[in-house]
Structure 1
Amino acid sequence: MENYVAGFKSNDVALIDKMVKYPIAYIKNGTVTMCDSYPIDPKSLKEEKGWDHSVDWKFEVTAVNDSEAHAVASAVRCRKDGSRIESVHGFYAFTKTVDGWKMYAVADTTF
């Protein structure tokens, strides 16, 4: 998850790509879309929302076995002046591959 956050902070989708097993399932608004590239563009998201940074990051691995893991993360997105834009909560599913743990599903909700 550290690489994921680093990639998101720096708009480095290539870094995020290293931890994804494509196609990836993107779950949003009651639909599942299979994507051949990462479905969330950090740069566009930052521009659309005026998002500068996030605070109050929380990560938790909620389930793990030898081949699969689930994790959740949450944070508060803020503008440059520190004012709050929204809270975000994400769910991530991982599978163990010969190259290590790879994300194969992501879902996010903002409020």
Structure 2
Amino acid sequence: MDTKKHMKEVHDTYMNYYVPGFSNNDMAMIDRIVKYPIAHIQNGSVSMHDRYPIDPQQLKVKKGWDHTSDWEFKVTAANEKQAHAVASSIRRKKDGSIIEYVDAFYAFTKTNEGWKMFAISDVTF
């Protein structure tokens, strides 16, 4: 088992697809690393979705979100079949003021097409 290799693969997948996809409202890019249906764990319940449950474009309009800072992503565990990761960031308005802090947990699975996210749980505060 090559844990470090798997952790790097998951990290690279997230940074190369999820971060730019989310930042640029590119749902097709996000979809490349999601295994549907995806579980969204939030507020004490789990819901299954056939499309990614968080729409960055809607968030930008609803919250006045312009950009993200202090983005951190860490793969906390990985084997040849599954990986867990956590991320945190700060959503900001155009003037740099803070809208909210975000913390998220992701579960990934290894598929024939590479690492795919199959569960997410996010908390904003």
Measure, in 2, the Cα distance between the counterparts of 1:7 and 1:73: 15
Q: Any idea what SS the aligned residue of 1:21 has? A: strand
1:48 aligned residue: 62
Q: What is the RMSD of the two structures over their aligned residues, measured on CA atoms?
A: 0.5
Asked if 1:58 is matched to 2:72, the reply is yes
Measure, in 2, the Cα distance between the counterparts of 1:27 and 1:45: 18
Equivalent position to 1:79, from 76, 80, 93: 93
TM-score by length of 2: 0.87
Structure 1 unaligned regions, length at least 5: none
Residue 38 of structure 1 and its aligned partner are, at CA, apart by 0.5
Q: Any idea what SS the aligned residue of 1:81 has? A: coil
Q: How many residues align?
A: 111
Equivalent position to 2:105, from 75, 91, 107: 91
AA aligned to 2:80 is D
TM-score by length of 1: 0.98
2:43 aligned residue: 29
Runs of 4+ in 1 over 6 A off after TM superposition: none
2:9 aligned residue: none
Residue 12 of structure 1 and its aligned partner are, at CA, apart by 0.5
AA aligned to 1:81 is D
Measure, in 2, the Cα distance between the counterparts of 1:44 and 1:37: 14
Which structure is higher in helix share? 2
Structure 2 unaligned regions, length at least 5: 1-13
Measure, in 1, the Cα distance between the counterparts of 2:64 and 2:87: 21
Measure, in 1, the Cα distance between the counterparts of 2:52 and 2:85: 18
